[in-house]
């Protein structure tokens, strides 16, 4: 229990202390924000602070802080320590700078930010990778909620592809219409469901743990599974695998693609800390709740350790909340996926149009820009549902590609801070950038299908120690280049 409560308290204190310190590196002022300077009625639309906060939270909190932590807690209770610490020092810093830089660059999307700060050569490959990753997100966040709805509420007949069609149609509509026409209207309802579901799970887990404190410890069967199956032969090392598995609960590069959407609707820079830093803290709280719930279920039902996270999600809801409230909690997770998938497709449209120089005020250019993206997502959906193995590959490549984005965003923020003359305070973003670059480079060098992971750069994968050493060298070289680039202007 102390790990759960202590982690949530750490997250809240982190917002009021470290979050305020980070904000002072880029003090907000009274300059006109993008939506005030040139509103266009489509993407640059002034919205109230509470709505921006809610949109940001639902945009960034996909299935990662639930599905990811249900898988990630198998690493052990250490996940309950890394989630809050990583969220305060890595994830929330990442999201805040992504949003603030976008506002200061007139609502620029991540590819444009990277092109300006890290150069055209780096951005050339990165921009296309960003769009590809966003489309992977869309496919994943259609698959997951469709499977949840089909399995949880329609078990007697499969309506999977019908549900896929309905969700995909909503994504397309949310992508094409003005941000306040659909997203701004339905998100308050979705947000209420998310809050009710999360609070219900938290209360149920705390109540169960009061009667049986061992539920939130590593039980005998849990340790046995972790040692003999999950990490057999060193196949699941905490570093770097945990930081790829629990993406959205600690740090997620996907958030860097979402913050610019809200950066175009904020009316004052003074709302940035609570909107960008604060909503990542809220996501950390959600991750702590579901990680603890998963740990409790694994102790009660050790056989669930071998099941997929999506199945475990349903078992957590029914075991702790019963059929009715459990259904509300599962629907809240469906909401998390849907409200990230719709803005992922929107962000892909905005990024592609920015790269191609196509204005998006009129409907016809928005449709033409979206058509190739819709076709690619349809292809991903077809391929990923050929087999469970195909979907596993889709999720795995999304997971590590996601952290390539986070490392890049942090390094771009470091260049920006260097240019602002922040000196040693640039370490606030540079050190997390070095850390995440090491994570990604190590993972790509170490991973292989033999370890139950996606293919990496080296057939069979390098030994972990060598992969981490080489990954660290890559990260240091990246940091030196960032330092010279930032100091050159």
The domain spans of the chain are 2-397
CATH says 2-397 is which class? mainly alpha
Sign for the pseudo-dihedral over CA of 408, 414, 418, 421: positive
Distance between CA 154 and CA 137 in Å, rounded?
25
DSSP secondary structure code for residue 236 in this structure: S
Is the pLDDT confidence value at 144 over 60? Answer: yes
Distance between CA 486 and CA 429 in Å, rounded?
13
What local confidence, expressed as pLDDT, does residue 185 receive? 72
What local confidence, expressed as pLDDT, does residue 22 receive? 97
Distance between CA 411 and CA 222 in Å, rounded?
38
Residue with tokens 């996909």: 62
User: Of 294, 323, 311, 312, which is closest to residue 208 (Cα–Cα)?
Assistant: 294
DSSP secondary structure code for residue 64 in this structure: I
**Per-residue pLDDT tens digits for 103-135:** 999 999 888 999 999 998 888 888 888 888 888
Is the pLDDT confidence value at 69 over 80? Answer: yes
Distance between CA 311 and CA 314 in Å, rounded?
5
Distance between CA 95 and CA 259 in Å, rounded?
7
Least confident range from 196-200, 276-280, 384-388: namely 384-388
Q: Which residues contact 341 (CB under 8 A, 6 or more apart)?
A: 62, 137, 138, 140, 141, 142, 145, 167, 171
CB atoms within 10 A of CB 113: 25
pTM across the whole model: 0.90
pLDDT: which is higher, 343 or 34: 34
The percent of residues in the chain predicted with pLDDT above 90, rounded, is 49
Per this entry, what is the length of the chain? 489
Distance between CA 85 and CA 284 in Å, rounded?
10
């Amino acid at each position: 229990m102390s790990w759960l409560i202590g982690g949530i308290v750490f997250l809240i204190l982190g917002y009021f202390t470290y979050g305020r310190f980070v904000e002072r590196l880029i003090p907000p002022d009274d300059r006109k924000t993008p939506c005030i300077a040139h509103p266009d009625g489509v993407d640059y639309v002034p919205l109230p602070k509470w709505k921006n906060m809610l949109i940001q939270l639902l945009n960034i909190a996909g299935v990662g802080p639930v599905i990811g932590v249900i898988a990630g807690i198998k690493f052990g209770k250490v996940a309950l320590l890394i989630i809050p610490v990583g969220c305060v020092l890595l994830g929330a810093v990442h999201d805040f700078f992504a949003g603030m830089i976008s506002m200061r660059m007139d609502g620029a999307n991540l590819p444009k930010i990277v092109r300006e700060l890290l150069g055209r050569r780096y951005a050339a490959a990165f921009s296309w990778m960003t769009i590809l990753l966003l489309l992977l997100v869309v496919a994943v966040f259609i698959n997951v909620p469709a499977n949840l709805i089909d399995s949880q509420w329609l078990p007697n007949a499969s309506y999977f592809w019908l549900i896929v069609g309905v969700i995909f149609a909503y994504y397309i509509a949310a992508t094409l219409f003005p941000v306040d026409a659909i997203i701004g209207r339905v998100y308050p309802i979705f947000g209420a469901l998310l809050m009710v579901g999360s609070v219900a799970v938290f209360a149920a887990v705390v109540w169960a743990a009061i009667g049986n404190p061992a539920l939130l410890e590593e039980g005998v069967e849990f340790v046995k599974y972790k040692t003999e199956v999950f990490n057999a032969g060193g196949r699941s090392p905490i570093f770097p695998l945990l930081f790829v598995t629990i993406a959205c609960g600690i740090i997620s590069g996907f958030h860097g693609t979402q913050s610019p959407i809200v950066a175009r609707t904020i009316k004052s820079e003074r709302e940035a800390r609570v909107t960008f830093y604060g909503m990542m803290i809220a996501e950390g709280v959600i991750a702590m709740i579901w990680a603890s719930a998963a740990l409790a279920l694994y102790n009660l039902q050790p056989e669930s350790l071998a099941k997929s996270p999506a199945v475990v999600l349903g078992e957590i809801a029914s075991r702790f909340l019963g059929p009715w409230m459990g259904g509300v909690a599962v629907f809240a997770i469906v909401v998390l996926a849907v409200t990230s998938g719709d803005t992922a497709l929107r962000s892909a449209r905005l990024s592609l149009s920015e790269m191609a120089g196509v204005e998006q005020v009129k409907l016809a250019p928005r449709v033409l820009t979206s058509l190739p993206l819709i076709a690619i997502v349809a292809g991903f959906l077809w391929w990923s549902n050929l087999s469970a193995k195909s979907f596993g590959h889709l999720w795995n490549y999304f997971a590590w590609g996601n952290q390539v984005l986070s490392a890049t965003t942090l390094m771009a923020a470091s260049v920006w801070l260097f240019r602002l003359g922040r000196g040693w305070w640039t370490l606030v973003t540079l050190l997390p950038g070095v850390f995440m670059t090491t994570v990604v480079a190590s993972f790509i060098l170490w991973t292989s299908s033999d370890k139950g992971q996606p293919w990496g750069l080296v057939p069979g994968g390098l030994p972990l120690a060598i992969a981490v050493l080489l990954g660290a060298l890559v990260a240091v070289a990246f940091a030196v280049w960032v330092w010279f680039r930032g100091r050159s202007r």
